[in-house]
Structure 1
């Protein structure tokens, strides 16, 4: 993790003055002051707990229907609370909020600052797990990659919940409804060997902005030159260029990604898209910097939420429903604090049981990744941003034409099922587990990245990473007290199932094969930087992985959707919590299993779908 403190300090003042995002945020937080009520008891048709990726979609769509809606969010506006680091795409991979280490820089303005339990499968390490505490949630701090899962993944979801509305064909309208695609700006990208084709039919791109969803999806206005070399290296090992992109229900090969950025190179989040539109067009009420502590019940009927703003605690009552959208860690926490979860856990903390649901907080699935690094003589996003001599030029590019390194978050990834040679070393059990996945679901993702070089001809430290996409290991989320003030207890379960270790080992060897591609010899400099030539045996490689693997921030399934509570599910296909009434959960916690790749697009579509379910039930 590289924190470009010097770059941020030099660029920050000018960006704050020159970039139009600041005026937009100022307008949202002042001219619509009536949308931010004073603390105190109030009643609404719907109370949405969590103003994150899914929560703001739900709140905006319900408010647009004419219902009275409030949304409760513990954070504020990330654009003013954390400025450049959350709005400028070029900072995405150097944002200190994402630091995946035990001793991390505290940034309470936008991060929940969660620290995992020690992970036995990862050398006993504790890891900071960033989670957005801000309007927009993790859509405000992620690295902006946008793509969809595979057609068979969604069919698997439909089968798991017993309802065909989660199939690819049924969900595609919600992908279209949530977003608007801006085609690549080829003159601004202007990089040899970086052209591509894609499928525009799976996006809304109507000339009328109102006809499409508010989320902006686009391509970066600058291409990292190092990524063009990684594309060649991946192709050399069989991960060839994908010709339609990753939004048509297929994840195979490699491609430049669509990203949640506006055409003028600003992060597009659920706050800057859905919330901005709702504040301008509806009566949505936002209780920001307000902490929800408990869902309130009359018997098994949810009636509202107890919340605190500053030192004042009060109740927001829900005439129709409470929608919980606090994320993969905090949604199970709030259910448990409210009396919904495993009875043994609730009894041990003297929390009255409203519904004994064994699946709350269980089934956590968290993909991990690790990398192999080598010196390169190619320029890159990292080397450009770290070069003082380039600062004035690249800053001017961004402010004047929304192009150059500041306008890009990177964006070259690849997917594959392990090829036969790599599968040969897998145990029968691991091979059998992988065989349960649908035929179009990839097993490994490859990410191209870079760090600033070290001199001596090394312009860039190239970073090629592999992700174990379908973890068979399981973690959990629970609570240690009956107070919201105590953070949830997070056990990610990394590498606790030996199948994940076997897949990781095979993927690591694929990374080295890519680095050894003849095509890279023209730009590689020096020996392997990390882990280095001394790490060769399977045992040494696995030891390296256990000591260095980190999360890709795609944890899911802690309130899994399914057919019945008896089978461990927490919500049904309509996101209704089993055993109670007038309560739904809508966020990554309800995914029944880890989505292959980056789940952001799926979460937007899920929220759009459940918003329709809620309105149909009203």
Structure 2
């Protein structure tokens, strides 16, 4: 599902902001920029950072959050708050030259990708309270049971098995059941498993999870096409430890159809119920150490530098790219690299910034004669009605961020061209881990009967390619050096070509022939051979914004692990990392739900000493 940067984003800028927490309403929680001491300082107010900060503050501990950004509700108007704009958000533009949004995005650009036509790509990363949860496309689902068993094996601790992690999934979020009246669309009914969600207050967590109140008609036809080639509807949904077949997704949307982020949920709750302090628009430049123990963080607000010291721990939650960067400029990382930049080595950890795993995706597009989210939002005659639906009943196209996704292990016919090495690598994955995710999306139509440009995408979920994050100087103000490593392992190339062919099989399904209009639009039927398909993928694949594992969890620092099962950094004390960078490997599908649960788990570990 490719992004459409256009009319919807322009419209979003003009609409009123729907309320969320702002500094003006909780001034006492925003201390003056001056040196201070706390029990805990959390660096990074993103998905994990605000979750763990809220839980620690609720225990009565003194806690400060350091966040370089501000509040997305005021910094980006409705681009981030209204679900219907999630896929047209210009902040996510995955191209080297992109519209700047410095109040919301770190504006990172990768190195030229040698496996992807030497392209440089803008990699959006939330520079705002809420972090990635403030700019993502809101899909919420969990990994598979055997993924968690593999995690437990790598981490060396059974607390990461499915059964042991499920309580933290339950603790983090509250599910609002589907509103069937507002979802009333043919072929859009489904079943799900309510037993794996918290549904009753007050024990539920503050994060809001729900199903879209409006169903994209084009997506209902994609569900038919995917089922026709073997992906039957998953009757339990994607939150019970199984990722197989197709389902309508749960999304981080509140009952009143507003994005639910870590800022609008955990932070909003903490600002009203705890003494949590927030240093927003404040940059952390270095972790401070005394005799190998983290004792605080050097920060600056508006150019004025000062220190926040800790009585207990520093918790680093700056994300997949900035957490390894901050570790390295603070003296934790590959010794040779640190010494080359005259950075005193606190802990020689060769794995810092290594092991970057970044799933990619690409799409095949054809014209259809069905309305869609994109065509509705692009129609000037519909905009007032759409806005009224949203304002008066929290419904209509603006209330929905997505819809239907599907997962599979590639069928036998798709595997025939795999090399023995690729077949062996795939066989090494857990039996219930899917290899491909299929995502449905759309663009506004092009005329001549094409109401919608249907966009069916495939994501390669388990990349064998590895990238890295490193630094070019000892200064945190110099952007991290990012190499995603896309398609540098030939196994990924073979899997991508097979997935591309599955997209074409779905488009060719007789079950959807009645809504198709004209020939394939993108890449077009001139692209036929495996070689041509691979060239096209290298030139067009983009990230799905799920980069992870740059401070991987494990048991052996010499072998590349950076943190242990409790998220404690090897070789020092008083320092943990809690964000997607500590995942030991790329999770299948969308990691947001797992990051919330992980933060809940580590918060409990800290508070109980376990």
Q: Match for 2:261 among 251, 269, 283?
A: 269
Q: Which residue number in structure 1 is paired with residue 505 of structure 2?
A: 513
Q: Any conservation in 1 of the 2:332–2:348 contact (CA below 8 Å)?
A: yes
SS of the residue corresponding to residue 430 of structure 1 reads helix
Tell me how far apart the structure 1 counterparts of residues 442 and 117 of structure 2 sit (CA, whole Å). Answer: 26
SS of the residue corresponding to residue 558 of structure 2 reads helix
Q: Which residue number in structure 1 is paired with residue 102 of structure 2?
A: 108
1:189 aligns with 2:178: no
Q: Any conservation in 2 of the 1:357–1:565 contact (CA below 8 Å)?
A: yes
Tell me how far apart the structure 1 counterparts of residues 104 and 227 of structure 2 sit (CA, whole Å). Answer: 39
Tell me how far apart the structure 2 counterparts of residues 446 and 5 of structure 1 sit (CA, whole Å). Answer: 24
SS of the residue corresponding to residue 38 of structure 1 reads coil
Q: Match for 1:118 among 82, 94, 112?
A: 112
Q: Deviations over 1:206-241 (max 9, x none)?
A: 1x2x21000000001100000110011001100111
SS of the residue corresponding to residue 158 of structure 1 reads helix
Tell me how far apart the structure 2 counterparts of residues 582 and 351 of structure 1 sit (CA, whole Å). Answer: 20
Tell me how far apart the structure 1 counterparts of residues 262 and 270 of structure 2 sit (CA, whole Å). Answer: 11
Tell me how far apart the structure 1 counterparts of residues 523 and 78 of structure 2 sit (CA, whole Å). Answer: 33
Q: Which residue number in structure 1 is paired with residue 164 of structure 2?
A: 170
Q: Match for 2:410 among 402, 415, 418?
A: 418
User: Are the structure 2 counterparts of residues 193 and 285 from structure 1 closer, same or farther at C-alpha, using a change threshold of 3 Å?
Assistant: same
Q: Any conservation in 1 of the 2:12–2:77 contact (CA below 8 Å)?
A: no
Tell me how far apart the structure 1 counterparts of residues 68 and 163 of structure 2 sit (CA, whole Å). Answer: 36
User: Are the structure 2 counterparts of residues 309 and 238 from structure 1 closer, same or farther at C-alpha, using a change threshold of 3 Å?
Assistant: same
Q: Which residue number in structure 2 is paired with residue 223 of structure 1?
A: 215
Cα offset for 1:547?
0.2
Q: Match for 2:292 among 300, 304, 311?
A: 300
Q: Deviations over 1:163-184 (max 9, x none)?
A: 0000000000000000000000
Cα offset for 1:284?
0.2
Q: Which residue number in structure 1 is paired with residue 276 of structure 2?
A: 284
Tell me how far apart the structure 2 counterparts of residues 241 and 501 of structure 1 sit (CA, whole Å). Answer: 28
Q: Which residue number in structure 2 is paired with residue 354 of structure 1?
A: 346
Tell me how far apart the structure 2 counterparts of residues 120 and 457 of structure 1 sit (CA, whole Å). Answer: 40
1:584 aligns with 2:598: no
Q: Match for 2:469 among 470, 477, 485?
A: 477
Per the normalisation by structure 2, the TM-score is 0.99
SS of the residue corresponding to residue 352 of structure 1 reads coil
User: Are the structure 2 counterparts of residues 2 and 335 from structure 1 closer, same or farther at C-alpha, using a change threshold of 3 Å?
Assistant: closer
Tell me how far apart the structure 2 counterparts of residues 151 and 83 of structure 1 sit (CA, whole Å). Answer: 39
Q: Kindly report which structure 2 residues correspond to 1:104-503, keeping only aligned pairs within 5 A, or say none.
A: 104-206=98-200, 208=201, 210-503=202-495
Cα offset for 1:29?
2.1
User: Are the structure 2 counterparts of residues 472 and 10 from structure 1 closer, same or farther at C-alpha, using a change threshold of 3 Å?
Assistant: closer
Q: Deviations over 1:522-568 (max 9, x none)?
A: 01111100000100000000000000000000000000000120111
Tell me how far apart the structure 1 counterparts of residues 346 and 576 of structure 2 sit (CA, whole Å). Answer: 15
Q: Any conservation in 2 of the 1:97–1:111 contact (CA below 8 Å)?
A: yes
Q: Deviations over 1:544-594 (max 9, x none)?
A: 000000000000000000012011100000000000000000000000000
Q: Any conservation in 2 of the 1:306–1:316 contact (CA below 8 Å)?
A: yes
Tell me how far apart the structure 2 counterparts of residues 11 and 473 of structure 1 sit (CA, whole Å). Answer: 37
Q: Over aligned residues, Cα RMSD in angstroms?
A: 1.0
Q: Deviations over 1:362-382 (max 9, x none)?
A: 000000000000000000000
User: Are the structure 2 counterparts of residues 226 and 542 from structure 1 closer, same or farther at C-alpha, using a change threshold of 3 Å?
Assistant: same
1:606 aligns with 2:598: yes
Q: Any conservation in 2 of the 1:11–1:395 contact (CA below 8 Å)?
A: no
Q: Any conservation in 1 of the 2:421–2:491 contact (CA below 8 Å)?
A: yes
Cα offset for 1:411?
1.8
Tell me how far apart the structure 2 counterparts of residues 244 and 151 of structure 1 sit (CA, whole Å). Answer: 14
- Misfit runs of 4+, over 6 Å: none
Cα offset for 1:10?
4.3
Q: Any conservation in 1 of the 2:86–2:137 contact (CA below 8 Å)?
A: yes
Q: Which residue number in structure 1 is paired with residue 79 of structure 2?
A: 85
Tell me how far apart the structure 1 counterparts of residues 3 and 186 of structure 2 sit (CA, whole Å). Answer: 27
Q: Which residue number in structure 2 is paired with residue 40 of structure 1?
A: 34
SS of the residue corresponding to residue 115 of structure 2 reads helix
Task: Tell me the number of residue pairs that the alignment of Structure 1 and Structure 2 aligns.
Answer: 609
Tell me how far apart the structure 2 counterparts of residues 410 and 606 of structure 1 sit (CA, whole Å). Answer: 24
Q: Deviations over 1:23-64 (max 9, x none)?
A: x43xx4223211000000000000000000000001000000
The gaps in structure 1 that reach 5 residues or longer are none
Q: Flag the structure with higher helix content.
A: 1
Q: Any conservation in 2 of the 1:227–1:448 contact (CA below 8 Å)?
A: yes
SS of the residue corresponding to residue 216 of structure 1 reads strand
SS of the residue corresponding to residue 239 of structure 2 reads coil
1:556 aligns with 2:548: yes
Q: Any conservation in 1 of the 2:288–2:298 contact (CA below 8 Å)?
A: yes
SS of the residue corresponding to residue 306 of structure 1 reads strand
